[in-house]
Amino acid sequence: MMDMKVHSSSEREQAFAEALKADGLRMTHQRLEVIRELASATHHPDADELFRAVRERVPTISRDTVYRTLSTLAARGLIERIAATGATRFDPDVSTHHHFVCVRCGRIFDLGTEDIGCLAVPSYLEGVGEITSVRLEVKGLCTGCEAADAATGDVRR
């Protein structure tokens, strides 16, 4: 994964478009809408969520276009796939950061390295090959799920 410091959705959108073109994909209106939606995401959408959002503007969009666009961007290290409850989610922010994942609802929150710090690669892994990223995933219940539990008296974990 690259540590791409992109400060705006338009910069991210431009990087995504260049990656698709470099892979020989035409910049169709449908693909442009997919990358616009993803580049402006402030959360971690899944493919179906992106499909539904783009379909509101482009009714002719196909799921295949969404999936192939996401696959190309992930293969180039411009977005990251995150396994979460229910579906794979995509992170358009590939800068160094960590995640909190709610084990109940699957929501994902970014945790900056200033919150936890950069993690060093253990020395015994130095000979295994090229390490491209180190990311911590903290799991637990988000405040929304905790509040729902409190309201219903549910204490399951």
Using a pLDDT cut of 70, give the percent of the chain over it: 91
Please give the pLDDT value at position 2.
Answer: 41
DSSP secondary structure letters along the chain: -------SHHHHHHHHHHHHHHTT----HHHHHHHHHHHT-SS--BHHHHHHHHHHH-TT--HHHHHHHHHHHHHTTSSEEEE-SSSEEEES--SSEEEEEETTT--EEEEEHHHH-PPPPPGGGTTS--------EEEE--HHHHHHHHHHT----
Q: Report which of 62, 56, 73 is spatially closest to residue 19, judged by C-alpha positions.
A: 73
Dihedral sign for Cα atoms in the order 149, 152, 153, 157: negative
Q: Report which of 71, 99, 65, 74 is spatially closest to residue 85, judged by C-alpha positions.
A: 99
Indicate the pLDDT class of residue 61, thresholds 50, 70 and 90.
very high
Cβ 97 vs Cβ 113: under 8 Å: yes
146 or 123: whose pLDDT is higher?
Answer: 146
Kindly tell me if the per-residue pLDDT of 65 is higher than 90.
yes
Read off the pLDDT of residues 99-145 as tens digits, 9 standing for 90 and up. Answer: 998 888 888 998 877 767 677 777 788 778 877 777 788 899 999 99
Read off the pLDDT of residues 21-36 as tens digits, 9 standing for 90 and up. Answer: 888 888 889 999 999 9
Read off the pLDDT of residues 68-99 as tens digits, 9 standing for 90 and up. Answer: 999 989 988 889 998 877 788 999 988 888 89
Model pTM score: 0.77
Please give the pLDDT value at position 3.
Answer: 43
Say how far apart CA 102 and CA 83 lie, in whole Å. Answer: 12
Domains of the chain, CATH where assigned: 9-83 (1.10.10.10), 96-152 (3.30.1490.190)
Please give the pLDDT value at position 51.
Answer: 97
